[in-house]
Structure 1
Amino acid sequence: RDRTGVTPQSKALTPEQQKIQELEARIARLEREKS
């Protein structure tokens, strides 16, 4: 499920958008750890 959902999106995104997604993922992880 993860591979099919993530890879097509990441390929379509620009390098800048990929970096933004990575940062958002890190923030989400930090928020989960805090809560």
Structure 2
Amino acid sequence: MLDHLISDPMIKKTQKLANSIVILIIVDLAVVNYSSYD
């Protein structure tokens, strides 16, 4: 049941989108922290 949900293409797309957003937030925070050291 759970495997079927995870393999659902829509869920995969949502997970990819969520991962991209998380990466963008991390990069954004890293850039802000890096430039605040200047």
TM-score, length of structure 1 as denominator length: 0.63
Residue ranges of structure 1 left out of the alignment (5+ in a row)? 1-8
TM-score, length of structure 2 as denominator length: 0.59
Relative contact order (alpha carbons < 8 A, sep ≥ 6): 1 or 2 greater? 1
Runs in 1 of length 4+ with deviation above 6 angstroms? none
Percent identity for Structure 1 against Structure 2 = 24
Residue ranges of structure 2 left out of the alignment (5+ in a row)? 30-38
* Pairwise CA RMSD: 1.4
Between the two proteins, the alignment pairs up a number of residues equal to: 25
